[in-house]
Amino acid sequence: MEVNKLTQERLDKLEKLKHLGINPYPYSYKNTVFSQAILKKYTYLTEGESTKDVYSIMGRIMTLRDMGKAAFSHLQDQEGKIQVYFREEDLKNYEVFRLLDIGDILGVKGHIFKTKKGEITIYAEEFTLLSKSLHPLPEKFHGLQDSEIRYRQRYVDLIANQEVKNIFLARSKIISTMREFLDKKGFTEVEIPTLQNIYGGANAKPFKTHINAWNLDLYLSISPELYLKKLIVGGYEKVYTIAKNFRNEGVDKTHNPEFTSMECYWSGADYNDMMSLTEDIYEYIAMKVLGTTDLEYQGTKISLKKPWKRMTMYEALIHYAKIDVEKLSDNEIYDLLDQNNIEYKLDLTSRGLAIALLFEELCEKNLIQPVFITDHPKETSPLCKLKRGNHDLIERFEPYINTWEIGNAYSELTDPILQRKLLEEQAERGRGGDEEAQQMDEDFLRSIEYGLPPTGGLGLGVDRMVMILTNAISIREVIFFPTMKPETN
């Protein structure tokens, strides 16, 4: 433990407490209420009015104003802060109170009154020290701003910034509401393995690990897709999982190497059904969590109310970039990549992938309001059915909000012969050096050879959903402990 002058003062107080026979770290304390319930219940009190209602509350000391034989303090619990009044002649252990510091955790029992200044307050009849804090809170603990400290020491961030705590309370509600919606729709929640022999279900570079017992390399899951499809083969009609995915890629305000997604698969459905499901999920969660489908994200008003706009990728290129790719040759499309300074790997380029790159660079920045971008080039995924009426495209969509791709969905490919061919092409790309190419998964192929019914699949990014619904500017604001480099001296 790093010991400075302020920490040493607290260590000295700790020894004095022990000398008084006080256990500064007791085993339990039973609180009967949270702060906000008291504040809401007793708004009717007039200034100076007192009640006989007694409560026990547990919280951290955030302010401490000593007036000699009396003191005021604010205790902070999960929901917020409440003032407490301590009076020496009413407390048997006031000498303990004099050894308290901001940051210490207390249990307080007392009745409710409103001060002459109009603040609802607990009049302490007894108190118990529950944990002596050995480190002072940051100097500006009421508004800790240093993001490096905030993300590394989330526990301090949560103490210092109630709005941060509120974001994560909202995150929990968003996820539980997502489960509620899917359960009501008849989906069965399942789990898939995080450690996998073969990674698949997305084009992404994996994290690699090793199991000593078998002297075998394994991979952290980049997607639950292939396992969920196996369960559809096995006879489940609707399945979903809310799981961690791990992709060994870049880090920015919307990407973290470890992130949470919801993926669901629906037997008998296609990508049109999954579009409707996406709208319903977002609308249901927004109404439950926010009470409205209209929100403001970083100053931009966004409406989540269905129906969302639908636009093919080709239509988006015409509308936003004035490019009609159907009228262009392959070379003309590649020339457009160069003219717009879009980087690409020549050996991995195909017409379809080039079109997708043009869309990403020239169109995504315009997609503010919710929109489904549909009918992608067939080269963009080996796991999707060909578009009915145009076999150069696939029945795939990506929903966008605030320029972000927030999900991915297909009419799932169910033809095992074609699926094998497409995965073999992916494996060849991998042998050619493409680290994001999907691997050949013989067990998955064997499973759909037994028969995969028509199926719609959908994946939604949970972290980005939380960002949108809580107005969080970075993905690090909605992940308790984001991936960071190790601390250095």
Mean pLDDT of 92-104: 95
What is the model's pLDDT at position 141? 47
Distance CA 457, CA 461 (A): 14
316: β partners: none
What is the model's pLDDT at position 489? 53
With beta carbons less than 8 A apart as the criterion, state whether 61 and 87 touch.
no
Place of tokens 């022990």: 18
Distance CA 423, CA 436 (A): 13
258: β partners: 246
Distance CA 177, CA 285 (A): 6
| Strand order from edge to edge, sheet including 195-196 | 195-196, 216-220, 208-211
> If we measure between CA atoms, which residue out of 263, 83, 94, 276 comes closest to residue 191?
263
Q: For 278-312, how does the pLDDT look when each residue is reduced to its tens digit (9 = 90+)?
A: 999 999 999 999 999 999 999 999 999 999 999 99
With beta carbons less than 8 A apart as the criterion, state whether 36 and 108 touch.
no
pLDDT value at 393 more than 90: yes
3-state secondary structure 212-227: CCCCEEEEECCCCHHH
59: β partners: 106
Strands 70-76, 50-66: parallel, antiparallel or unpaired by DSSP? antiparallel
pLDDT value at 432 more than 60: no
Give the global pTM: 0.92
Tokens of 172: 């929990």
The SS3 of residue 442 is: helix
Distance CA 181, CA 319 (A): 35
Q: For 341-390, how does the pLDDT look when each residue is reduced to its tens digit (9 = 90+)?
A: 998 876 666 899 999 999 999 999 999 999 999 999 999 999 999 999 99
**Residue 485 backbone dihedrals phi, psi, to 5 degrees:** -65, 155
217 Rama class: left (phi>0) / alpha (psi -120 to 50) / beta: beta
Of the listed ranges 90-94, 258-262, 407-411, 432-436, the one predicted with least confidence? 432-436
Domains parsed from the chain with CATH numbers = 5-136 (2.40.50.140), 160-308+369-477 (3.30.930.10)
Tokens of 303: 């409406």
In Å, what is the CA distance from 159 to each residue of 102, 129, 162?
11, 18, 7
The SS3 of residue 188 is: strand
**Which one is predicted more confidently, 361 or 425?**
361
What is the model's pLDDT at position 148? 79
Distance CA 50, CA 56 (A): 16
Strands 407-411, 371-377: parallel, antiparallel or unpaired by DSSP? unpaired
What is the model's pLDDT at position 372? 98
% of the chain residues with pLDDT over 70:
96
Question: 290 burial class (0-12, 13-18, 19+ CB within 10 angstroms)?
Answer: middle
Tokens of 445: 């192929």
Distance CA 302, CA 306 (A): 12
DSSP string, 134-176: SSPPPTTGGG---HHHHHHTHHHHHHH-HHHHHHHHHHHHHHH
pLDDT value at 213 more than 80: yes
pLDDT value at 64 more than 60: yes
Q: Which residues of 426-443 are buried (b: 16+ CB within 10 A; e: fewer)?
A: bbebeeeebebbbbebee
Distance CA 193, CA 198 (A): 11
pLDDT value at 451 more than 50: yes
> If we measure between CA atoms, which residue out of 486, 482, 485 comes closest to residue 254?
482
The DSSP secondary-structure symbol of 487 reads: P
Residues 6+ apart with CB under 8 A from 419: 382, 383, 413, 445, 448
Question: 489 burial class (0-12, 13-18, 19+ CB within 10 angstroms)?
Answer: exposed
Distance CA 313, CA 394 (A): 11
Strands 390-401, 386-387: parallel, antiparallel or unpaired by DSSP? antiparallel
Q: For 135-146, how does the pLDDT look when each residue is reduced to its tens digit (9 = 90+)?
A: 998 765 445 667
With beta carbons less than 8 A apart as the criterion, state whether 113 and 73 touch.
no
In Å, what is the CA distance from 257 to each residue of 175, 196, 244, 254, 262?
20, 17, 10, 10, 16
With beta carbons less than 8 A apart as the criterion, state whether 265 and 457 touch.
yes
* Longest alpha-carbon distance in the chain: 90
